[in-house]
Structure formats: structure tokens, C-alpha cells
Amino acid sequence: MNQYGHVSVLLDECIEGLNIDPDGIYVDGTTGMGGHSEAIASRLNNGRLICIDRDSYALERAGERLKPFADKITFVKGNFSDTFAILERLGIEQVNGMLFDLGVSSPQLDIAERGFSYMNDAALDMRMDQTAALSAYEIVNSWPEERLQRILWDYGEEKFARKIVAGIIAERKLHPIASTGELVEIIRKSVPASALREKQHPAKRTFQAIRIAVNDELNSVSEMMETAPDKLCKGGRLCVISFHSLEDRIVKNSIARRENGCTCPREVPICVCGFKQTLRSVSRKPILPSKEEEEANPRARSAKLRVAEHI
């Protein structure tokens, strides 16, 4: 852990994957505390780095960290799903590389009042962009039972979704559920005793699901993968770090559609569907953290890095 309270996941692997041109233009679409950005900027001569994040606090902290490289960096407050539009607005036609780290940054988890963590009691929030209207409070206290069950099952793969949502519905009939601590207690009371003995915290999957819903994360990933690669120059690299299977599946399938998207029947001798390959996987399998990194930074354990090159 460094002075900025964050350890960048798969840092060396990302830098290798980006294959940095010192005079190129790069995008860090999820700047966070600026660890990946610092490693990119330090390798630039006449190049440029566009740092995007929807969390104002993250951009402020990253700005402090990246002051030595201020002449090479443009900071933009925005969602990484809007990368294509942001680059258009900046008048940038093509870039040499893009990096997206889809995880929650350590300060977001560790600053209790942000409401991301089940380890601290705080107001139910979980907004990455604190100016956004939707928070965890609204989801927990106003979304209908079936919708809550669906997000816990789909986004958290929570096998006790029905029991947990039943507990939430019963509690919110008595009073609003206002804090993370209250939600954790409801979860503890709702799941069977065997779940409480598991190594994983019983609230982990529920909190993950609600966070994804609050920040519309999966749609953001889909939109980014649909549009952002079109801004890569020939030979430009796309690096995406995901932390759960739903994100990774979107990234994997999106790359596959651009790599092997021909829909012609196998017996047709030449392609007639109009498919044109635009991406090539640099590594067929996702790149995983080393055992040493997992031991040094437990939050890296579920990380998967996929790298693709524009052709």
C-alpha cells in the first residue's frame, strides 16, 4: 500500500500489454488513484494521457499524484462508457492505447462514508459519482421485491437472494434501512447458519450486486466495449481488468465479436456477410495476478486482464 491508499492491480502486466509508444496518446478510462496513470505517464516523452473518472474525489487525488506529469495529462470527469464521445469532444481522432480497471478503488472501499463496504457502518450510498441521483438507499428501500431478487441473483450470484430480499422487505415496512450496518445485520439474520461460517463475508455478494445496480456498471462496460475500440489506431492496444465473471464475459464476448464475428455458413468459401476483423486477442486466456501479487494485495485475487490489439 502506498501513500495514496491504493495498490494498482496487474500494473506490470498492463504496461506490457499497452506496449507504450513514448510519443503516443493513451487513455486511462478509470483513473482511480492514478497508479496505472503514473506508470503510463512516466513512460511518455511527447505523448499524451487522457485520465477519465466519474469520481471527483478520485480525480482530485490522482491530480495530486500526477503533478510531475501535469504537462502530459488531460483530466476529464466522466463515465468510461463515454470514452469515444470524450475523445471526440477533445478533437482526438485516434489513440495508441486504452486501459480500463473495472474494480472499486481502495479509497472508495476504505472511506466509510462512501457506503461501499460491508465492514464499516455508514450511510447507504455506493455512488461512484456522488452527484448521481440513484443511491443504494433508493434501491434497498424502494425497488420492488422481484427486481431486488433479480439483481442479487444476476449481479451477485447470491444463492440466498430470496431469503435476503424477504428480510429487506420485512424490515423496510417497519422503517427505512439507512445504513450499511443495518443491511449487513438483515443479511446475517436472513441467511442460514452455514453461510455465516463460510470464509467469504455473507454480505459480499449482496453489496456487489447493489453497487453494480447503483452505478449501472454492466451497461457501462457494454457501451465502452461497443464504441471505445473504434478510437484505437492500427496496432493500438486495449487492456481491460475485470473482477467478476459478468464483466469478464462482456469483455471476452465483445473482443470475440470483433475478432471472429463472421456469420457466414462454414461451407461458404469466402466471407459474404461483410465482417471485418478489427481486434486481435494478444493473449487467448485472461492474464491473472501472480501468487506474489495476490499475497501482497488480496483485492487482486479475482482480477482478470484481457488485452487486444487493433488491426
- pLDDT (tens digit, 9 = 90+) per residue, 112-131? 889 999 999 999 999 999 99
Q: Give the Cα separation of 146 and 162 in Å (integer).
A: 9
Q: Give the Cα separation of 259 and 65 in Å (integer).
A: 37
How many Cβ atoms from other residues are within 10 Å of residue 267's Cβ?
A: 5
The answer to whether the beta carbons of residues 208 and 156 sit under 8 Å apart is yes
306 Cβ neighbours under 8 A, 6+ residues apart: 239, 240, 242, 248, 251, 252, 255, 281, 283, 286, 287
Q: Residue range 80-103: average pLDDT?
A: 97
Residue 117 grid cell: 463496504
pLDDT of residue 6 exceeding 70: no
Nearest Cα residue to 139 out of 120, 155, 157, 121: 155
| Position with higher pLDDT, 105 vs 72 | 72
Three-state DSSP class for 310? strand
Q: Give the Cα separation of 229 and 224 in Å (integer).
A: 8
The answer to whether the beta carbons of residues 135 and 214 sit under 8 Å apart is yes
Three-state DSSP class for 97? strand
Residue 274 gets the label, from left (phi > 0), alpha (psi -120 to 50) or beta, of left
pLDDT of residue 1 exceeding 60: no
pLDDT of residue 107 exceeding 70: no
